[in-house]
Amino acid sequence: MRINFTFRNLDSSDSIRHYASEKIARIQKYLRAPLDAEVTVSTERHLHRVDLSVSADGHHYVGHEESEDMYASIDKAMDKLVRQVRETKATITGRKRHGSGIHELELKRPSELPRM
C-alpha cells in the first residue's frame, strides 16, 4: 500500500497523515491488490478540502469533499470511496455468480423452446 500526501495552503500535519492513512487502510480489505492512494489536503478561506484518489485491481476511485472541519472532510470523502469500492465489488461478484450472461433459453435448440 502506497499513500502520497499533498498539502496545499497549510503545513503538513502528522495527525492528519495518520488519520487519513488509517481510513484508507480499511479499504484494503475489499481489494485484492495493494492500493495506491493520492491524498490532497487544502484550505481555502474557512473551508477544508480533501481529494482522495485510489487505484487498485485495475479500477480507479475518486472522492472529493469540503467542509469546515478537516477530519469531517476526510470521513465524508472516505464514505464516498467505500461506496464506490463496494459497488464495484458487488458488480464483479454478481457477474461471477450469474455466469457469462447467456440465458438458458439461448442455449436450447429451437425445438426445445416452450410454445407461446
Q: What does the pLDDT look like over 73-113, one tens digit per residue?
A: 999 999 999 999 888 888 877 766 666 555 554 555 556 66
**How much is the average pLDDT of 53-68?**
91
What span, in angstroms and rounded, lies between the C-alpha atoms of 70 and 65?
10
**Better-predicted residue by pLDDT, 72 or 98:** 72
Output the nine-digit C-alpha cell for 67. 467542509
Asked whether 50 and 70 are in contact (CB, 8 A), the reply is yes
Query: Residue 33 — very low, low, confident or very high, per pLDDT cuts 50/70/90?
Result: confident
What span, in angstroms and rounded, lies between the C-alpha atoms of 33 and 59?
11
Determine the pLDDT at residue 103: 52
Share of the chain above pLDDT 90, in %: 52
Considering the domain 2-97 in this protein, what is its CATH number? Answer: 3.30.160.100
Determine the pLDDT at residue 66: 93
DSSP letter for 110, please.
Answer: G
